[in-house]
Amino acid sequence: MGKNRNTKETKHKICYMKRNLNLSVDISTYQEVKRTIPEGQVSSLVDNLLKEHFKKQRKEKLVADYKSTARSKAMREEDKIWEGTIEDGIEDE
């Protein structure tokens, strides 16, 4: 029986779903993009900028949530309870 040549290629092929997005920008921004960004690279630039924006947003939310938890009186009380159990069952040799 012959080997299926497409199996190897299909196994490692990565498919990306893409969607179109219409953007409205100021005319001066548009002119700057046309002047400075090579043709065919605008979409990947916008995609990368949006990914970085969302990554920054997630990080800021994580920091804010951490700070909120750190200020929580109930959480501090919970920490005190657990502090006493950290070395439970551990004996010096």
pLDDT value at residue 23: 93
User: How do residues 4-37 score in pLDDT, each as one tens digit?
Assistant: 444 455 566 777 788 999 999 999 999 999 999 9
User: How do residues 36-90 score in pLDDT, each as one tens digit?
Assistant: 999 999 999 999 999 999 999 999 999 999 888 878 888 778 877 787 766 666 6
Question: Which tokens hold the place of 77?
Answer: 């009380």
- Whole-angstrom CA distances from 34 to 15, 19, 29, 31, 43 are 29, 22, 9, 5, 12
27, burial (CB in 10 Å: exposed 0-12, middle 13-18, buried 19+): exposed
pLDDT value at residue 87: 65
Question: Which tokens hold the place of 71?
Answer: 């200020």
Residue/partner pairs of 41-47 with CB below 8 Å, 24 or more apart = 46/21
pLDDT value at residue 10: 55
